Amino acid sequence: MASSNFVDYVKLNLRSGKGGAGSTHLLRTRGNARGGPDGGDGGRGGHIILKGNAQLWTLLHLKYTKHIKAGDGVGGSKSTSTGAYGKDVIIEVPLGTIVRDAETMEQEAEVTGDGETVIIVPGGRGGLGNDHFKTATHQTPRFAQPGEPGIETWKVLELKILADVGLVGFPNAGKSTLLATLSAARPEIADYPFTTLRPNLGIVAYRDDRSFIMADIPGIIEGASEGKGLGLRFLRHIERNSVLLFMVPAITKSIIKEYDILLNELKQFNPELVDKQRLLAITKCDLVDDDMMKKLKKRKMPDVPTVFISSHTKLNLVQLKDMIMKALSESY
């Protein structure tokens, strides 16, 4: 999938259907010329509904669909017959999609399960027919309720990637290479910053037919939480991850300093992120010699479970997966 095909934010104009009017029909037959009211109720207007689809990974299919309208309800008819409901519109979205009011940006709903449905704009109720309004003193009411109007509103759909493990690091930390090595994912990999312009997902196989989902989040830079670089756009995806795997190259001047910068950016964006399970992988260990590796292992490291790895030589990748599974079991 091309990077331009990943869409995680759309703004839509939605209009639910109006309810059908109640009927004012009076019963008139050959044998009963003065029958009572038998007007039926109007049908409700169509809803706008979100439905989770585990096969979708992006909101691309909604990028150019700005206006969506549900069907109107049909008016009631004689013999107390209720009018047909307006046609609902079902919008399929990836798991992890949230709905916000476009004006206040307040979160209103979220879809996290396959097949889960949420009514985000309800249709107008159908009006009551005149049959409901007959009384002992008013036996032939010639009035009924109109249907309720539909609701027109703007909503923002925002996707937050659902994954077990989120990879956190500066550009060129080796995140895409690790994902490609551990899973069947094929992210773009090159030796320059911001190769990854969209989150990539991969399923990592483990022992006993177990597996976990890993997300390669585009590189964070210092100041990302203030809107710099690409990081701010993608920081929200990290909110859904159960475990955060920080990745710092072995050739970095100060591993602790780089780790602290990354952690601070997450904290500035959302303080709750620092409460997630954290692991640290020192990457690209194939680029340092044995003496340097010994010195690295003697350095003071952040107070989190740490492993030295190389995606190219597959150094300690089994140990890394063991650490991840242990952290996942503790986070659930």
pLDDT at residue 222 in the model = 63
Residues 82/125, Cβ–Cβ less than 8 Å: no
How far is 225 from 295, CA to CA, in rounded Å? 33
Residues 35/27, Cβ–Cβ less than 8 Å: yes
Higher pLDDT, 159 or 227: 159
Mean pLDDT of the chain: 88
pLDDT at residue 193 in the model = 42
Tell whether the model's pLDDT for residue 255 goes beyond 80. yes
Average pLDDT of span 3-21: 86
Residues 6+ apart with CB under 8 A from 126: 19, 20, 21, 22, 41, 42, 43, 44, 45, 73, 76, 82, 83, 147, 148
pLDDT confidence band for 8 (50 / 70 / 90): confident
Average pLDDT of span 24-49: 88
User: Considering the chain, what percentage of its residues have pLDDT values greater than 70?
Assistant: 89
Tell whether the model's pLDDT for residue 229 goes beyond 60. no
pLDDT at residue 202 in the model = 84
Residues 137/187, Cβ–Cβ less than 8 Å: no
User: Which candidate, 114, 112, 145, places its Cα nearest to that of 128?
Assistant: 145
User: Considering the chain, what percentage of its residues have pLDDT values greater than 90?
Assistant: 61
User: Which candidate, 46, 48, 27, places its Cα nearest to that of 36?
Assistant: 27
Average pLDDT of span 109-129: 97
pLDDT confidence band for 288 (50 / 70 / 90): very high
pLDDT confidence band for 2 (50 / 70 / 90): very low
pLDDT confidence band for 171 (50 / 70 / 90): confident
pLDDT digits (tens, 9 = 90+) for 43-93: 999 999 999 998 888 898 999 999 999 999 999 999 999 999 999 999 999
DSSP, residue by residue, 112-139: -STT-EEEEEPPPPPPPPGGGG--SS--
Higher pLDDT, 151 or 2: 151
How far is 309 from 304, CA to CA, in rounded Å? 15
Q: What is the DSSP letter of 227?
A: T
Backbone φ and ψ for 61, nearest 5 degrees, come out as -65, -10
Tell whether the model's pLDDT for residue 304 goes beyond 90. yes
Residues 162/95, Cβ–Cβ less than 8 Å: yes
Tell whether the model's pLDDT for residue 5 goes beyond 80. no
Please state which architecture CATH assigns to domain 165-331.
Answer: 3-Layer(aba) Sandwich (3.40)
Distances (CA, A) of 129 to 45, 150, 221, 292: 16, 19, 63, 85
pLDDT at residue 199 in the model = 73
∠ CA 290-292-297 to the nearest 5 degrees? 95
pLDDT at residue 231 in the model = 47
Tokens describing residue 208: 């006993």
Strand order in the sheet with 117-121: 89-93, 48-52, 117-121
Q: Indicate the domain borders of the chain.
A: 1-159, 165-331
How far is 328 from 164, CA to CA, in rounded Å? 7
DSSP, residue by residue, 171-221: TTSSHHHHHHHHSS------SSTT---S-EEEEEE-GGG-EEEEEEPPPP-
Average pLDDT of span 135-152: 93
pLDDT at residue 186 in the model = 61
Average pLDDT of span 223-241: 63
pLDDT confidence band for 233 (50 / 70 / 90): low
pLDDT digits (tens, 9 = 90+) for 190-228: 444 444 456 778 889 999 889 898 988 776 766 655 555
CATH number given to 1-159:
2.70.210.12
Average pLDDT of span 137-141: 88
pLDDT at residue 234 in the model = 63
